[in-house]
Amino acid sequence: MDKHPLGDFLDFVANKHGEENWVTVYKRISQLDRSEDGSLYCALVTNDKTERAMGEASWDLRLGSGGPGFVSTFDGGVEKNTYLPQSHDGFRHLVLYRDFHGRKDSYLEVLEEFRLIHNLYLDAKTGIYFGFDESGDEVEVIRLSRDEVKIRRSYLRAFMAATQMNLLLYFELTRHFQAPHTTTDTIQLDNVRASVYSGDSYAKGYTSFVRALGKKLIRCEPVERCGIWPFERRTKHTDFIIGGDVDAPELFTCDPDKLANYFGANPDAPHYLTPVFFKKEVMKKYYGSSDYEIRDGHLSRRGAWGLRFDNNSSGHVSVFLGDLGRDLPEKEQTYWRSFNLVPDGRTISRTNYERSFLGNFFDPQNPEHTFKHKFSQLQTEWADEFGWPLFLPLTERDEHFFSSIRSMLTNEQSEFDSLILSIAKVTIDSVNVKALRDYLQDRNAESKSIVLLEGLFSKLNVPYADDMAAFLRGVQSVRSTGVAHRKGTEYEKVIVKLNIDDENYQAEFDQILAKFVVLFDALLQYLQSEGGSVNVLPDTHLQASQ
C-alpha cells in the first residue's frame, strides 16, 4: 500500500492498530495545515453480532450515544416502554462522550464497568487511571486527554475476555491534496473492512481528498485467560538456595504445592518450613518506602501482600521456603532471590524457633523491635499517667523517621548518619518542652530538651540520671557535629568520647538502641511503681556511654 494515497495509514491499521502496548480507542485527528482530519473510535460487540458488523465498513456506533434510557414498542396496539441500560443491542461504548449542550464543558470517560473490574483510580491532575499489579506497584492503565484515549492492551484484552465481547476499532481519515485524485477501493481482510473513496476537497487551499472509513476486529480470548478471579494467572515460582556451597548451591522451587509438609505431601521434597537465608540488605527497599510496614516477624505492603519472616537474627534475615512461594508476588520473589545466601551454618533466631515450632510467646531479640515496642509503651503509659505525651507525636511528614529506625543493614557511614538523625528526631527533638517546664516548674527559657529530661530523671529519683543525660548529649553531639553539619575535628572527638568503633557501626548503633531501651525501661518502672522511686534498673546501664 506504499503508493496508495493512504498507504501508510492503512498499513498502520492492518498491522499495528490494536496490537501495540497502548491501544488508541479514541483520537481526534487533525493537522494545523488542514491536510488531514479524522478520528479513531471503538466499540465492544457480542460474538453473535460480530459477523454482521464486519459485513460493512460503516461504523455501528457514533460518538455521543450509548447512555441508558427507554425504548418504546407497540404490542397489539398497546405501547410498551422498557428501560435499557444501554441503547445499542449487542454493542457497547467503551469510551463515552459526555455533552452538556454548552452549559458545561464536554469531556470523555471510559466505561464504568471497565474501571470497576480493574479497580482503577484517577489522578485528576494527569488524566491517568492507575491500577495495581500483584506486587502493589502502580500501573498506568488509561491515558485520557481531551483529544485522545489510550488503554493498556493487557487490561483491555482482560476485560474483553471477562465479558466475552470482541473489540471493533473504528477509523476514519481524510487526507487532502493539491493535485487531483480519483480513488475507489474496498478493503476486506480477515479482520479489516474499509471503504476508500475520493472527492473534491472541502479544505481551503486543496483540490481533492481521499478518505478511508472502516473498522478492525480484535477477537476476545477465552474467559479462562482474563486473569481476573477466579481465573488469575498462575504465579511462576522462583528457585531458592536451600543448601550446598557457594560453588555448588542446592536450589529448589518455593512452590508450596511441590513441597513436603506434615500431612504426607511430596515426601521426597524439601519441607515447607525449610529456612532460606538472605542478606540484610534485602530490607533496604522496604525501609526506604512508607508503602511498606516492617514489624517484628512480619513484612507487608499496604493493601497488597504480607510475609512472615525472621528479622530477629543479627547477620541475616530468613523466610520459610513455602512462605516465599505462598506470600510473595512473583516480582518480589525475583528481588529476594538476588540476596539469597547459602545456609553455611546459619540458623533461624531463637525468637522464631520459639514462636514457630514451640508455639510460645517470645520477646523479640532485634534491638529495633525492642526500641519501638518500649517507646510506644512509654508514650501510652506516660500520657495515661500525666495527661500529656513525654515525646510530641511526629507530624505526618516526619513519621518516616520513626519507621526508619532499625538495626543497620550495612556498615556504611551514610546509613549510620541517617539513623542517628532519625533517632534524634523521634526522641531528643520531640521532647515535650512546654509540658516538662510546667511539670518541673522550670522558668528558665534556656532550658532545652536534654536539660529538662535531666531534671525529670532527678525528680523521679531515676538511677544513673547523669549517665542518661550524658548519653543523650552524646547522641545529640554526633547528630550536630556529623549529620547536620560537615564532619570535622569535633565529630572525631565525639566519636572517641563515646567509644564508637567506626569500623563496626552496625554493632555500635545496636548499642545505642539498647541504651535508649534502658532509658525507656527506667521511666516505665517509675510509672508502673505508681509514682514511687525507681530502685532497679536492667543489668545493662548507661555508664559505658560516658
Q: In the predicted model, is pLDDT for residue 488 greater than 80?
A: no
454-458: average pLDDT: 93
Which letter, b or e, does each residue of 331-363 get, where b requires 16 or more Cβ atoms within 10 Å of its Cβ? ebbeebbebbbbbeeeebbebbbebbeeeeebe
Residue 31 binned pLDDT confidence (cut-offs 50, 70, 90): very high
Let me know if residue 515 belongs to a domain.
Answer: yes
Q: Are residues 69 and 166 in the same domain?
A: yes
Q: Give the residues across from 276 on adjacent strands.
A: 319
Among 356, 375, 395, give the residue marking a domain's end. Answer: 356
Whether residue 375 contacts residue 381, with contact meaning beta carbons closer than 8 Å, is answered with: no
Q: Are residues 172 and 33 in the same domain?
A: yes
Q: Are residues 537 and 390 in the same domain?
A: yes
Q: In the predicted model, is pLDDT for residue 145 greater than 70?
A: yes
- Give residue 482's domain range: 367-545
Residue 540 binned pLDDT confidence (cut-offs 50, 70, 90): very low
Three-class SS state of 400: helix
Residue 439 binned pLDDT confidence (cut-offs 50, 70, 90): very high
Q: Are residues 382 and 504 in the same domain?
A: yes
Q: Which of 390, 301, 312 is nearest to 355 (CA)?
A: 312
Task: Provide the number of structural domains found in the chain.
Answer: 3
9-21: average pLDDT: 96
Let me know if residue 439 belongs to a domain.
Answer: yes
Structure confidence at residue 175 (pLDDT): 96
Q: Are residues 479 and 346 in the same domain?
A: no
CA distance 265 to 463: 58
Least confident window among 215-219, 253-257, 361-365:
361-365
Q: Are residues 186 and 267 in the same domain?
A: no
Whether residue 60 contacts residue 53, with contact meaning beta carbons closer than 8 Å, is answered with: yes
Q: Are residues 268 and 373 in the same domain?
A: no
Q: Are residues 470 and 539 in the same domain?
A: yes
Tens of pLDDT, residues 281-323:
999 999 988 899 999 999 999 999 999 999 999 889 999 999 9
Tens of pLDDT, residues 46-82:
999 999 999 999 999 888 777 788 888 888 889 999 8
Percentage of the chain exceeding pLDDT 90:
75
Q: Are residues 335 and 309 in the same domain?
A: yes
Let me know if residue 531 belongs to a domain.
Answer: yes
Residue 230: is the preceding peptide bond cis (ω within 30°)? yes
Q: Are residues 347 and 371 in the same domain?
A: no
Structure confidence at residue 530 (pLDDT): 60
Structure confidence at residue 536 (pLDDT): 41
Three-class SS state of 123: strand
Backbone angles phi, psi at 21, to 5 degrees: -60, -35
Let me know if residue 234 belongs to a domain.
Answer: no
Verdict on whether the full-model pTM lies above 0.75: yes
Q: Are residues 471 and 430 in the same domain?
A: yes
Q: Are residues 20 and 69 in the same domain?
A: yes
